[in-house]
Chains A and B, each alone.
Chain A
Amino acid sequence: MKSQRIPIALKIKQLVTIIIVGFIVIWFLAPLVLITISAFASPGDYYQIDKVIPTHFTLNQFKSLFFGLEAWKAILTSIKVAGITILLSFIMGLPAGYALSRYIFPGKNFLKLLCLATKMFPLMVLAVPLLIIFMKVGVSDTIWGTSLAHTAMVLPIIILIFSSILSGVSVDYEEAAMIFGLSRIHAFFRITLPLALPGLAASAIFAFMMSWNEVFVATILTLTNRTLPAHILKTAMASPDYLKFTAGFIMAVPAMVFIFFVRKHLVTMWGISLK
C-alpha cells in the first residue's frame, strides 16, 4: 500500500509545481510578450477592434522613433550618462566600500547608516535645487548634469554593494600577499580586485540600469540632451498608441539583456543592496 501511495503523492506535488510555475511564467512574461507583439504590429491591425492577434507586422514605428524622433540620440545620451555615472561611482565607491569592508573604525556604522538614509530622500526632492545649482554653474541640460545627479543616486548603494562584495573576498589572500612584501595598494589591485571582478562587473550593470531607468531627474534637468526614458516621456507621449508601444519595447530590451547577464548575481545584488 505504502509503496504505491508515495509515487502518487509525488506526482501530485510535481503537478502542483508545474501549475504554479505556469502561473508565474504567464503572469511575469505576458506583458513583455504582448508589448513585443504590439511593437511590431501594423497600426491598421491595432485599430481593428476585432483583431486580437495582429497578422501584419512592420518596422515603420521603429524607423519613425529612431530617426524621425531621433531616439537614437537619446539612446546615445542614455549610454553616455550611464557610463559617466558608473565611472564616477566606481572611482568614489571602491575606496569607500574597501574602507567599510576592511577596517573597523569609529563611525563606521554611522557611515553605513548614512548610505542607507539617502534612500529616505526620493530623488525628486533633490531635483529642483539641483536644477537651480546646475543652471548657475552652467551644466544644466548637459550630459554631465544628469550624470552627476545619477551618481548621487547610485553611489550610496554601490558603496554598500562593494563593501559586501569585498567582504566576500577573504582577507587571507590579501594578508598573504602583504607578507610576501606587496604593499596594501598592490595587494588590492593584484589580488582582491581580480577576485572581486565578476561581482564588480555585475554592480556596474546594476548601476547602468539604475541610471538607464531613471526618468524623473533626467526629465527635469534637461531640455535637449534627454535620456531615452525622458525623451519618451516628453515627446512620444502625445503620439499614436502604436508608437508608445514601440517605445516601451525599446526601453525593455536592455533590461532583459542585463538581467540575463547578471542572473547569477541577482540575489547578491538586490538582496544585499536593499537589505
Chain B
Amino acid sequence: MISFSRREKNWIPYLLFLPALIYLAGFIGYPLVKTLQLAFTSEEGKVGIENFITLTRDSTFWKALKNTLYLLIAIVPLQVILAFLLALFVNGRFKGYMTVLYIICIPLALSDVSAALMSYNIFTSHGFLNKLLMKFGFIDAPIYFFGLGLSSRAFWVIVLTELWRATPLVFIILLASLQVISKDYFEAADVFGFSSWQKFIHITLPLTMPSLQSALLIRTLFAFQIFAVVWLLSGRDIPILAGEVYYQQAELINFRLAATYGFIIALICILLSWVYLTFLKTKHLEV
C-alpha cells in the first residue's frame, strides 16, 4: 500500500476527506460549541455557571442522574454476559445457525419506540402477561407495572426491554471477533489436551478481549442515550438525563437548561470513555 500511495501527491487523501470533515465540523462541532455556550449563559445573558447551580438545586436532576446510572449498572453487565453466551453458542455453527443469527438480529433494526410498545403490549394491565396469569388463576386482578409508586416495577420492565432490544448489538460485535479466531489455536490446544474450559479461558477470552471492551464502551455510551423506552413506559415517573433534555426543550422550551443537561451527558460520556481507554488499555481504536 505504501508504494502505491507514494506515487501520488500526498494532499489527495486530505482532499478526499475534506467534505466529510467540513460537514462534521459544521453539524457536530459547531452545535457542540453552541451547547457549551448555551449551558454557560444565564437567563440574563451573563456567562457563568448559573444554569448548573439551578440544575443541581433541582432534585429532579439528581434523580435523573441516579436513575441513569442505575439503568447502566442493571443493564450493561447482564447484557454483555448474555451476549457473550449467545455468541459462543451461535459460533458453534450447528445446523441452521444462520436462521438463529437472523432471529437474534431482528431487534437490531427496531426503533426504541417500537421496542417500548412491544413491551407495553406484554406488561400493561390488559397485556398478555396479565391475561395469561389470570387465565391460569395465578392472580385475581391485573398486576400493574406502570404507575404511581410503581417505578421500581417499571424500572425492571425497562431493563428487560433494553436487554431484549440491545443485547443483539453486543452479540454481533462479539460474534465478529469470535469468527476470526483461527482454528489452529484450538487444534493446538487439543494436542495439549486442554479441556473446553481451559480453551475458553486461555484462547477465546484473551482473543475476544478487545471486542469485549469496546462492546462494553459502546453500550455504556449508548446507555446514556436511552430515551424513548423510558419515556413511553414510565413518562417522567423515572426521570433520566436524556429524558430531561427532551422535557426541558420540548415541554418547557428552556433551551439553556436543555443544553446544560446535554452538556452534562457529553461530559460523563467523555469521562467514561477516558476511564475505559486508560484502565482497560483497549487497542480497538486501531481498526
Contact = CB atoms under 8 A, between A and B. Distances in A.
Interface of A: 17, 20-21, 24-25, 27-29, 31-32, 34-35, 38, 46-47, 49-52, 88, 91-93, 95-96, 98-100, 102-105, 107-109, 111-114, 116-133, 148-149, 151-152, 155-156, 159-160, 163-164, 171, 175, 184, 209, 212-216, 219-220, 229, 232-233, 237, 241, 244-245, 247-248, 251-252, 254-256, 258-260, 263, 266-268, 270-272, 274-275
- Label chain A's interface by main secondary structure: helix
A142 to B, nearest CB: 15
B86 interface: yes
A156 B24 contact: yes
A81 to B, nearest CB: 14
Contacts of B231: 233
Interface in B214-237: 214-215, 218, 221, 224-225, 227-228, 231-232
B224 A271 contact: no
Nearest to A121: B266
B282 to A, nearest CB: 10
Given A128-B35, A233-B228, A252 B265 contact: no
18 contacts: A28-B103, A100-B13, A107-B14, A113-B285, A121-B266, A122-B225, A127-B245, A128-B259, A151-B23, A212-B111, A216-B227, A219-B250, A220-B250, A244-B120, A263-B101, A266-B105, A267-B176, A268-B176
Contacts of A216: 227-228, 242, 246
A232 B117 CA distance: 11
Nearest to B26: A152
B166 to A, nearest CB: 11
Contact of A271 (B35, B176, B221): B176
B122 interface: yes
Contacts of B134: 49-50
Nearest to B174: A271
A104 B14 CA distance: 11
B232 A237 contact: yes
Given A29-B103, A52-B131, A93-B20, A122 B269 contact: yes
Contact of B287 (A38, A126, A275): A275
A31 to B, nearest CB: 4
The 4 A-B residue pairs with the shortest CB-CB distance in the complex, in nearest-first order: A271-B176, A248-B117, A129-B34, A213-B111
B121 A38 contact: yes
B132 interface: yes
Contacts of B117: 35, 244-245, 247-248, 251
Contacts of A121: 28, 32, 266, 269
Nearest to A260: B102
